[in-house]
Structure 1
Amino acid sequence: MLLSELYNPGLPQLVLFDLDGTLLDSVPDLALAIDRMLAALDLPMAGQSRVRHWVGNGAQMLVKRALAHATGVEESDLFDQAFTLFLHHYGLCCAEQSKLYPGVEALLTFLRDNQVSMGLVTNKPIGFTERLLDEYDLRRFFSIVLGGDSLAEKKPHPMPLLCAMDRLGVAPVQTLMVGDSRSDIKAAQQAGCKVAAVTYGYNHGVPVSAYQPDIIIDDLAELFS
């Protein structure tokens, strides 16, 4: 069990999870919403492969990257209109094609059964986050859920992780962050907790090893098998 290597002889008291690219492959629905947004603006659509490299820093940054690609302009005057369109379309399709990654429910069940507290810390807006947790029956596992608009800062700032630990009364030394990107790794490192990074998520084409997480895994099941 990889967790025992970090928290010998037992388990962490708290595990914080990212959502997109860690627990849920949400790119198919994000790409659908982005393409519908672009079509409504009479701009060329992006496609799923491009969107996969744009996600990970919140909805606003995703829309900015899509507009920059479609218009060739870094800061587009269309942003406000585009962001409103994106929120509308993603609200209609956010759970159509997204899928949980292998091992998600098994890991969450294992941690719950071993009295490990869990939290979700994502840069996705909290409204969509809560809806997806309900759609995929995950809310029951988490003692705290923080979205990208829940606090004044979002990852890679450590504030969301520190807030979650403070509210649940767990010290950084007894906390593990599980994520897929630079934002997750940097937030955990600045918050003073260990971090496990998955290789299959959204990190803009850069290997997660470049940011020196404590553990690198190809499958969530590796944490407890």
Structure 2
Amino acid sequence: MQNATLVFDLDGTLVDTAPDLVAATNHALADLDLPPIPAETLRHAIGFGARRMIVEGLKQTGLTLPDAELDRLLALFLDYYEPNIARESRPFEGAVEVLERLKGEGARLAICTNKRLALAERLLRELRIDGLFAAIAGRDSFPVYKPHPDHLTGAVRMAGGDVRNAVMVGDTSIDIAAARAAVVPVIGCTFGYSDAPMDTLAPDAIITGYGELEPAVRALLANFSAGAAARAAKPQI
């Protein structure tokens, strides 16, 4: 694992943030005297950001609103979410132990999330796991964000790693698309917030829990390195 760079999405991949994100969504919608939206009906929208969660919540109540009103609700969402960001959010079972072990073996760990950088940093800090990561790349860290490949490759560079020896771990089609575009092998998590079954997104490997992460990473790094070596050895015509 020495010198490998492992890049993790945050919401739905590393941390189960759904309880606090849903609470923030319902806080914003309550300003319109709307009833709370059940968490299970909003989970699939989490990967697309807070605004999408608000829109989805409104859709479930039969409402559509102009952009200016959505902006106002988004501000309410953020005002509530930031101070309550880790009230119920927790790392997925086994995640911290596995990441500590991988880091101890020499892997560089990084975050590549479409969450705003300040929020991502605050969440990791309040969960006391920020020290695990060599780099945190948020939605606003670069001019582009996932699924653009430069968000992922930028996170690898920030961590001091090499894209040719990196693996992405994510839970949605956005993560898979970013990794594919960056030519980085990708592991899909079935326990996250995907709006489609993970097997239909065709990642290079699928895990159902963090106990399966290490062998999946080792296999992908070995296969990817072997493929790269074979391509380099192939005669040019």
TM-score by length of structure 1 reads 0.88
* Cα deviations by residue, 1:6-48 (Å, 9 ceiling, x for unpaired): xxxx566100001111111110111111111100122333121
User: Which has the larger share of helix?
Assistant: 2
Instruction: Name the amino acid aligned to 2:136.
Output: V
Alignment-derived partner of residue 50 in structure 2? 59
Deviation at 1:71, TM superposition (A): 4.5
Q: CA deviation at 1:200?
A: 0.6
Residue number in structure 2 paired with 1:127 = 118
Root mean square deviation of aligned Cα = 1.8
The residue aligned with 1:47 is 38
> Aligned pair 1:83/2:54, yes or no?
no
Shift of 1:74: 6.9
Larger radius of gyration: 2
Deviations 1:46-104 (A, max 9, x none): 12112212110222332333334335327554111101000011123211111211111
Residue 35 (structure 1) aligns with: 26
Q: Structure 1: how far apart are the matches of 2:141 and 2:59?
A: 27
Residues 168/25 of structure 1: CA separation in 2 closer, same or farther (3 Å cut) = closer
Q: Distance in 2 between matches of 1:185 and 1:75?
A: 31
Which residue of 1 is the match for residue 171 of structure 2?
Answer: 180
Aligned 8 A contact 1:68 1:74 in 2: no
TM-score (norm 2): 0.84
Aligned to 1:139: 130
Distance 1:50 1:151 in 2: 31
- C-alpha distance in 2 between matches for 1:44 and 1:149: 32
Q: How far apart are the structure 1 equivalents of 2:142 and 2:52?
A: 17
Please name the residue that 2:210 is paired with. Answer: 220
Cα distance change on mapping 1:171 and 1:48 into 2, 3 Å: same
Q: Which runs of 5+ in 1 are unaligned?
A: 1-9
Other structure's SS at 1:120 match = strand
Give the one of 90, 93, 98 matched to 1:102: 93
Output the CA distance in 1 between the equivalents of 2:73 and 2:201.
32
Aligned equivalents of 2:192 and 2:82: distance in 1? 22
The number of equivalent residue pairs is 215
- In the alignment, the residues of structure 1 paired with residue 93 and residue 185 of structure 2 have an alpha-carbon distance, to the nearest angstrom, of 22
Deviations 1:84-138 (A, max 9, x none): 0000111232111112111111111111111111100111111211111111111
In the alignment, residue 124 of structure 1 is paired with which amino acid?
A: K
Structure 1 residues 123 and 77: alpha-carbon distance in aligned structure 2, compared to 1, 3 A threshold: same
Aligned to 1:7: none
